[in-house]
Structure 1
């Protein structure tokens, strides 16, 4: 399914939901839904709400990335109670548990460097804590992880402005559709990357209405690292 309208119609059929019902769930008008299903509009600022109402992955609904629903948990995005963990409050004075590590939290992506370091003149000394098991799952080391806030609206609705993201600077292999921190002549951004030839890539924003695809020589783009984690307050 190549278009947003195709995916939206398929999700509505799978959920057994009408245009009017979806409009009520999301808080928009039925004519607005009709424009989306007919292809008159190619996106929506309510993408996350639409996806939640239809029980599909927002990445898939917005851009066709990945599967329609999370494998193994298609009926609910909420894990069973047996998988719930304990949340402990902590601050900079709290001792670091043996099963956790601290990684740098930068003020901006501009401070990130491809070798996992950061620029000393602007690094604020803030840190975030990750479980060692989380880093093992993505093949990251403590010294290869950098965190920073996303800026701008080019990656909305999946990565709203202010979202905290974590990248693994040891993971630079391009996997189509994954999100990377990249640098072009010093211009650093978060983008989804696709290879279209051995020497060319497409740089894609989730907010494709305002930010069209860009094509570039692979040698002109430095991959700083692959995003593996985000945290957003809605």
Structure 2
């Protein structure tokens, strides 16, 4: 029922996900940090895209690709195709844009195609090489970060700590904020000159599991 819903609108898919999770507009706004008037406009088709689509998808436990583009499975548990596979199944290229993939030493020469809903000149893509402390982003996940986006509390971010790149949750507080992982037993990492915040994760695509 929820597969291949490209013909539906973002508003229709959002209504479906909200109903499935028994959310209200107020609750979704509170959980995501997205202003309630913006949620209303998305639900009524007044605006057709949002740079907070990842936060909204996470809160509703649905695939960002499904919510933003109507492609693939609604459910995260079914696995999300990577960006290249998503594009191969599309006949239209007017709703996507290219992002350069970077590694620890800079640009790798690879590019990926991602939904136009998160388009920004400040977007940079990375491939996560190791399992992070955040279960949502396992090893092999393609992430796109906005290097100029201001992180909100509990946003997923990409950061360099002790010369190692990984994914964290951002926590407000202190001078520059803190980094945390899913395990509450692991102490918060305070952002300092030795821990560089690369950017806020605005999109991610997991690889399909091979049986």
TM-score, normalising length: structure 1: 0.47
Q: 1:129 to 1:191 in 2, by over 3 A?
A: same
Are residues 1:186 and 2:184 paired?
Answer: no
Which protein shows a greater Rg? 1
Unmatched segments (≥5 aa) in structure 1: 1-53, 58-64, 112-117
Q: Deviations over 1:131-182 (max 9, x none)?
A: 43x134xxx22xx2221222323334211111111111121x2311111111
Unmatched segments (≥5 aa) in structure 2: 1-19, 24-29, 33-38, 44-56, 73-85
- What's the Cα RMSD here? 4.2
What displacement does 1:202 show?
2.6
Q: Deviations over 1:187-231 (max 9, x none)?
A: 32221111222x25332112x17x713332544432211101111
Residue of structure 1 in register with 2:173 after alignment: 196
Q: Supply the distance in 1 between the matched residues of 2:62 and 2:191 (Cα, whole angstroms).
A: 38
Count of residue pairs brought into register by the alignment: 144
Structure 1 segments of 4 or more deviating over 6 A?
Answer: 71-76
Match of 2:110 among 115, 120, 126: 126
Q: Supply the distance in 1 between the matched residues of 2:61 and 2:193 (Cα, whole angstroms).
A: 42
Q: 1:148 to 1:158 in 2, by over 3 A?
A: same
| Contact 2:87-2:113 at 8 Å conserved across structures | no
What displacement does 1:98 show?
4.8
Residue of structure 1 in register with 2:129 after alignment: 151
Question: Bigger relative contact order, structure 1 or 2, given CA contacts below 8 A and separation 6+?
Answer: 2
Q: Supply the distance in 2 between the matched residues of 1:217 and 1:102 (Cα, whole angstroms).
A: 30
